[in-house]
Amino acid sequence: MTEKEFRAEAAELVEALANGVSALDTGLRGGRVAPALINDVFRAAHSLKGIGGLIGLPALGHLAHAMEDALDAMRLGKVTPTTGVLSVLDEAVELFQKLVEANPQEAARLEDRVNEVSRRVGAIKTGVEPAAAVVARTPKDLDLAPEFFSVLTEYEEHRLTDNVAQGVPIYLVHAPLALDAFDVGLGKLTEALKSRGEIITTLPSSEKAPGVIAFDLLFAGQVAVAELGDAVRALDPAFTASIVGTRPRNSVQAPEPAPARPAAVEEETLVPAHSAATPRTETVRVDIEKLDRLMNVVGEIALVRTGLGRIADLLRVDGGHTQPVIELQKLARSLERKIDELQGGIMEVRMVPLTQTFERLQRIVKKTARELAKEVEFVVHGEETELDKLLMEQLVDPLVPLVRNAVDHGVESADARQRAGKPAAGRVTISAQPRGNHVLISVEDDGAGLDEVAIRKAALEKLLVTEERVGTLTGRELWNLIFLPGFSTRREATDVSGRGVGMDVVKTNIARLSGMIEIDSVAGRGTRFSLTVPITLAIIQSLIVRVRGRTLAMPLGGVSEILAYDGQLLRTVEAREVFQTRKGTVPLLRLGDVFGYPGTDVANGYVILVGVGLNRVGIVVDELVGRQDIVIKPMGRLLKGLRGIAGATDLGERSTVLVLDVGGLVEEALGVNAAA
Amino acid sequence: MPELRILVVDDSAATRQMLTSAVEELAAERGREARVDTADSGLTALRALPSGPYDLILTDINMPEVHGLELIRFVRQHPLQKDAPILVVSTQAAERDRQKALSLGATGYVTKPVTLAALREALTPLWPAAAPGGAP
Ligand SMILES: Nc1ncnc2c1ncn2[C@@H]1O[C@H](COP(=O)(O)OP(=O)(O)O)[C@@H](O)[C@H]1O
Ligand SMILES: [Mg+2]
């Protein structure tokens, strides 16, 4: 290698260092600095140090050394990166950039500056005292072979401790591979694992069989063991993944320190004799499927309870207030309370915060912005809001197109923004708010808003609406066209958009979750998509109604009010029935007509108001049977794809009824029915 | 006299280059020819090992994926290689890692930045000036 080549490598390293430091900065502003990132920067500094001496630039080596120490302290968690720390690192990066290009005379002139900056960089590692890390759980609790601990570097140990302390599950992935071609297999495995969490170490060991090398990867990730197992087996049937359990502790260790008491008394009276030998673990991991089964059983118990209540009511009507009947009613009520508690308890176990999902979206926003060369700021609110784990997984799919579209279609180019008097950087905001049994999630951009002219044009071209109809479409009706499959205002498909599948995916997915989606858009100001989803999929509170002799279940989530039907309040506007309420008129939807049930609705029925804001619709029913918690069952082949139906449920007494898809019905009433 | 087979493992090309010239020179001082293989990561080193046995392995600790400590452990398990002297060439920052390297069976430790003199000193006990054992 010639000196020129060394210089080239040094310049490359300086560049890597610069990128790394700027990524740290972004991470810091985003509230989280990925440990792997610090390690990368550390490694760049480390290599740079080695080269300094080789290219006759000891000053460069000197500065790199200080930098390496500082980053080492950071990656080991001894120093927390702050904006102050990063500004010092920035200065160093700038100096590196000058140094790699300097000739010996220029380098000599920079020496004072190098010394000064090196001193300040060097102070980073001493400036901040080690964060008083009170680690509740340590890797020593892990049931790992001692040989693992003997090969972990200090950094890896730190990463392990950190993950364990945060309660991240630790897995051992075993991968036997052919010695002459292990790169490919290991590469794939590494990639698959990295997308799910953090690889702490990759330990090779010679297998008994010749020509085979085995790798044991220690992996930290918030995934279920079954999922991880499937993922690695999909790569190679010989791969296995097992969770690293915790070693039972041998002493009594309460999770929280007990209040101080006189020691003598405590020893004699409070510690049972056998307790010293009783192992205690503080957490268990449960397969979500098991919780699902439990939840279903609870749902079924709830049905039994409803049946009991009904019998008690009947007895009471028939036989009056006899003591046993009153007793039975009381028991049924207290059973109901206990079932509620049980459901609440199981639900709580399943809840996880949105944090990880939002982080993922943030990466997607960044990536999309990079692809499109736009500057976009991502703002997150309410990431601590909790949702059912299973639902969370299904929520990601519809959120991805929303954030991508916000960056692509929403946020304008920097030029256009400046002309419009907006800051050059666009802003995409995602926020979550708990609303009782539902969560409201909104994705908002401060871009150009929906382009109504382009939407009209695209709709006409694709024959989604007729020429005469297109003129009469207003605001929301027009906006709703973007949900149609294949609808796009882009002429040409790019990597990011133009195929018109995004919003279609959003809508079908949200409907599947019994959720609702609403658009708000102001030209030149931006667009907001508001999603309302239930916090769990398992149990849905619903209203049991009767329409023209049929029984149906309507999830209560979308219901805002129930009014008595009154023919006097009925109007007909443009051939549509509307109903007068205190808050204005709403379009009426007759379920009997939607599903083609023969007969007419009774005159003394009810109007159930569903939807929010301008998206309200009144659904006409004959009779309200009652409220009931239902477990939605997947639909049989026959019913699949039936508009306005979300599934079926078992109401007990062997009667199965259909569950309405309120979101779909609202759309049916308000939206445009693709009229060609 | 047979040539000395040496494996240099480091993720920096510059360091590999430097270490290669250094060991070649040190071998020459002993009137020996050196044949040096290099690996840019612990993983690449795993693949090089079966072509050994090596008379000396020089390795960095901090490398992505399979790092120095893991490599040392692997070498010590390896039927063909388990007796090869291993010299760790790494930073002083990681005092604990150095301890571990030694307890895993590393033969010596040289702190970066490396000088020829330091390498020579570390290699002296490993490469007796006299003709190595077994030579006629
Ligand atoms: N945030 C947004 N701002 C402005 N227009 C949007 C936004 N999101 C979606 N759109 C409009 O909705 C249309 C459909 O979006 P989508 O189904 O994702 O298809 P595609 O992105 O392939 O065009 C887009 O072509 C665009 O006109
Ligand atoms: Mg799109």
Confidence of residue A281 (pLDDT cuts 50, 70, 90): very low
- 8 Å CB contact between A590 and A550: no
What 3-state DSSP class applies to B122?
A: helix
Q: Say how many Å lie between the CA of residue A481 and the centre of ligand 2.
A: 14
Q: Is the pLDDT of residue A549 over 70?
A: yes
Model pLDDT, residue A627: 79
Q: Is the pLDDT of residue A202 over 80?
A: yes
Whether residue A398 has its Cβ less than 6 Å from ligand 1: no
Confidence of residue A633 (pLDDT cuts 50, 70, 90): low
Q: Is the pLDDT of residue A234 over 80?
A: yes
Taking CA–CA distances from A5, the nearest residue in chain B reads: B14
Phi, psi of A623 (to 5 degrees): -145, 145
Q: A151 and B14: CB-CB below 8 Å?
A: no
Model pLDDT, residue A447: 94
Question: Which of A233-242, A597-606, A626-635, B32-41 shows the lowest mean pLDDT across its residues?
Answer: A626-635
- 8 Å CB contact between A362 and A396: no
Return the domain boundaries, chain B: 4-123
Please give the class, per CATH, of domain A139-245: alpha beta
Task: Find the mean pLDDT for residues A69-94.
Answer: 84
Report residue B105 as tokens: 């069976």
CATH number for the domain whose boundaries are A540-669: 2.40.50.180
Alpha-carbon distance values, A112 to A59, A61, A107, A116 (Å): 10, 14, 10, 6
Task: Find the mean pLDDT for residues A635-649.
Answer: 61
ipTM of the complex as predicted: 0.79
SS3 string, A612-643, reads CHHHCEEEEECEEEEEEEECCECCCCCCCCCC
| Residue whose structure tokens are 């009144």 | A618
What 3-state DSSP class applies to B109?
A: strand
Model pLDDT, residue A629: 72
Q: Whose CA is nearest to atom 12 of ligand 1?
A: A482
Pick among 3.40.50.720, 3.90.1010.10, 1.20.120.160, 3.30.1360.70: CATH of A3-127: 1.20.120.160
Model pLDDT, residue A639: 47
Please give the class, per CATH, of domain B4-123: alpha beta
Report residue A481 as tokens: 């066209």
Measured at the alpha carbon of residue A303, what is the angle toward residues A298 and A309, in degrees to the nearest 5? 125
Confidence of residue A437 (pLDDT cuts 50, 70, 90): low
* pLDDT tens digits along A148-188: 888 888 888 888 888 887 778 889 999 988 887 888 889 99
- 8 Å CB contact between A178 and A212: yes
Confidence of residue A133 (pLDDT cuts 50, 70, 90): very low
Please name the amino acid found at residue A14: V
Q: Return the ligand 1 atom nearest residue A526 CA.
A: 3
Q: Buried b vs exposed e over A303-332: b needs ≥16 C-beta within 10 Å?
A: bebbebbeebeebeeeeeeeeebeebbeeb
Instruction: Give chain A's mean pLDDT.
Output: 79
Return the domain boundaries, chain A: 3-127, 139-245, 289-351, 354-534, 540-669
Q: Is the pLDDT of residue A548 over 50?
A: yes
Q: Is the pLDDT of residue B5 over 60?
A: yes
- 8 Å CB contact between A311 and A329: no
Report residue A182 as tokens: 């292990």
Confidence of residue A637 (pLDDT cuts 50, 70, 90): very low
* pLDDT tens digits along A581-619: 887 888 999 988 888 888 888 888 899 988 766 678 899
Residue A100 burial (C-beta neighbours within 10 Å; 0-12, 13-18, 19+):
buried
Whether residue A482 has its Cβ less than 6 Å from ligand 1: yes
A198 touches chain B (CB under 8 A): no
Q: Say how many Å lie between the CA of residue B18 and the centre of ligand 2.
A: 52
Task: Find the mean pLDDT for residues A361-385.
Answer: 89
- Which residues have C-beta under 5 Å from ligand 2, the single-atom ion? A 405, 497, 502
CATH number for the domain whose boundaries are A354-534: 3.30.565.10
Whether residue A445 has its Cβ less than 6 Å from ligand 1: yes
